[in-house]
């Protein structure tokens, strides 16, 4: 564990970085290594990566915001999860990594008029991130659940591949001994070694602004005590929900929080004749035959999560839970055309989050679930349990028609772990809330450098995009202030 900054009533710094996840840690390390005085503030605590069981209730309590029980209201409402700890979401996600496509970069550049957004420069930043995080494929054999997904896709002739992860494998080909290279093991230690300070268990309530310039942050400390921080510049990296919420509490409105994008997912549980469940890992294969609109992958399959996947039709499917060693959970994710909002309301600690799926989104979720069930049948599943109310148990191809006819997005357990686009960057002020390098419009020294900046959902895990953009913007900040 690195040395944390001791709490006190007041702090001063040259640059205040709010949030320590993929965007915040990368930003802080880059600035600190350039000799800038950086203070990182994190609302959650420091939790050693090996000190809690992955996907356990203890981890949900210690490392997720609100114990993982957060939701974007709508028809249907969409459950989402956020990390709330040192390292943010990188401490709790599965570590899967994929670069955005050139088509995605071109769409962002064109639709939002992002200046100096060069493909080669962006992918060079990805190269740097991949080296820092030891991004690589799994040595040796993948988990049985991952191999089954690969087998089903191969039987159908559908395009699929193994997704690399930010992992090291100190025991060679022993994949089970892999260590996730999250921010608490990579960029945060780098930042502290370079002189940055890390203040955990402090919530930033608002920024104080005078004539478009922020100069002070008001916080609540770990015991509820008031804390203040004076700074020269502030870079907000609190995630796609809490970055816009903080900015709104500080008086910024406009387009802030008005274009939330995500990858909504639906799930199913597949039961096989043999034991295939690995409770502390996830499959590394994904099916990309229908990408970027639709993709399939594997989820965490802890026994409690298997039970959760069966609850939508518990009366029919509950007996299957005793066979959880033979069951794995899989998802179908879409790149949604719908958008949502994040709205900070007076007197409430957390913002109101809403999201609206389009008709195309709803149809695509149903198509995705049926195609995913087909993959599982081709992989040899004995039974497939789709996660929506009234869902049939699928045992053969002939049951897929009933699944498709009975599916309703409003009856499904829709969720997401990928949130972005609430402070989109670009020079087109009719669409963007921050300039091409993350400086908030209407402010001289308030910047954003996290998933909030991505103009729309990239169709892949967004961490590569977040970190590459964060490196780019942090270096631009250094050039402007040198």
Instruction: State the catalytic residues.
Output: 418
Rounded to the nearest 5 degrees, what angle is found at the Cα of 363, between the Cα atoms of 294 and 83? 55
Please count the helices (runs of H) and the strands (runs of E) in the chain.
12, 23
Rounded CA-CA distance 70/74 in Å is: 13
- Please tell me whether residue 103 adopts helix, strand or coil conformation: helix
Which pair of tokens denotes residue 268?
A: 């199913």
Residue found by looking up tokens 């409402």 in the block: 77
Percentages (nearest 5) of helix, strand, coil residues in the chain? 35, 25, 40
Q: Which residues contact 212 (CB under 8 A, 6 or more apart)?
A: 442, 443, 444
DSSP string, 71-91: EEBSSS-EEE--B-STTGGGG
> For residue 169, which phi and psi values (nearest 5 degrees)?
-130, 85
Rounded CA-CA distance 96/180 in Å is: 10
Cα→Cα distances 359→182, 363, 366, 419, Å: 37, 6, 11, 20
Any long-range contacts for 151-155 (C-beta under 8 Å, 24+ apart)?
151/378, 151/379, 151/380, 152/374, 152/375, 152/376, 152/377, 152/378, 152/379, 152/380, 153/285, 153/287, 153/289, 153/296, 153/375, 153/378, 155/378, 155/379
Rounded CA-CA distance 420/185 in Å is: 24
Residue found by looking up tokens 């892999």 in the block: 178
Which pair of tokens denotes residue 64?
A: 């997720």
Rounded CA-CA distance 82/278 in Å is: 23
- How many beta carbons lie within 10 A of that of residue 314, not counting itself? 12
Residue 12 host element (H or E): strand 10-18
- Output DSSP code: residue 254: T
Q: 116: left (phi > 0), else alpha (psi -120 to 50), else beta?
A: left
């Amino acid at each position: 564990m690195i040395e944390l900054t001791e709490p006190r009533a007041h702090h001063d710094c040259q640059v205040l970085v709010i949030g320590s996840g993929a965007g915040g840690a990368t930003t802080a390390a880059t600035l600190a290594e350039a000799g800038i005085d950086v203070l990182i503030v994190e609302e959650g605590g420091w939790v050693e990566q090996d000190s809690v069981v992955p996907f356990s209730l203890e981890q949900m309590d210690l490392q997720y915001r609100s114990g993982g029980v957060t939701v974007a209201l709508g028809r249907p409402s969409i459950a989402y999860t956020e990390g709330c700890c040192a390292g943010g979401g990188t401490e709790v996600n599965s570590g899967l990594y994929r670069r955005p496509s050139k088509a995605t970069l071109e769409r962002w550049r064109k639709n939002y008029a992002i200046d100096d957004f060069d493909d080669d420069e962006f992918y060079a930043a990805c190269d740097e991130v991949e080296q820092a995080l030891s991004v690589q494929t799994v040595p040796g054999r993948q988990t049985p659940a991952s191999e089954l997904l690969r087998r089903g896709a191969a039987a159908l002739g559908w395009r699929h591949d193994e997704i690399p992860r930010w992992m090291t494998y100190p025991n060679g080909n022993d994949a089970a001994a892999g260590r996730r290279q999250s921010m608490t093991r990579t960029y945060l230690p780098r930042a502290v070694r370079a002189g940055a300070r890390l203040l955990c268990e402090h919530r930033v309530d608002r920024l104080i602004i005078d004539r478009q310039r922020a100069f002070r942050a008001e916080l609540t400390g770990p015991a509820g005590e008031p804390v203040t921080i004076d700074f020269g510049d502030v870079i907000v990296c609190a995630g796609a929900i809490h970055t816009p919420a903080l900015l709104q509490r500080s008086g910024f409105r406009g387009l802030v929080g008005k274009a939330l994008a995500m990858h909504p997912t639906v799930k199913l549980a597949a039961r096989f004749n043999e034991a295939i469940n690995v409770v502390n890992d996830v499959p590394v294969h994904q099916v990309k035959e229908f990408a970027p609109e639709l993709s399939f992958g594997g989820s965490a399959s802890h026994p409690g999560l298997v039970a959760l996947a069966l609850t939508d039709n518990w009366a029919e499917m509950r007996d299957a839970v005793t066979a959880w060693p033979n069951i794995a959970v899989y998802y179908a994710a879409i790149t949604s055309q719908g958008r949502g909002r994040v709205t900070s309301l007076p007197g409430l600690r957390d913002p109101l989050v809403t999201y609206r799926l389009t008709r195309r989104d709803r149809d695509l979720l149903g198509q995705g679930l049926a195609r995913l069930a087909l993959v599982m049948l081709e992989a040899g599943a004995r039974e497939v349990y789709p996660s929506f109310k009234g869902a049939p148990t699928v045992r053969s191809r002939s049951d897929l028609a009933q699944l498709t006819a009975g599916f309703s997005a409003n009856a499904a357990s829709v969720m997401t772990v990928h949130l972005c686009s609430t402070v989109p960057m670009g020079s087109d002020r009719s669409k963007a809330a921050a300039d091409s390098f993350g400086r908030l419009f209407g402010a001289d020294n308030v910047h954003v450098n996290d998933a909030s900046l991505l103009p729309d959902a990239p169709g892949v895990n967004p961490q590569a995009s977040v970190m590459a953009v964060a490196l780019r913007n942090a270096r631009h900040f250094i050039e402007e202030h040198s």
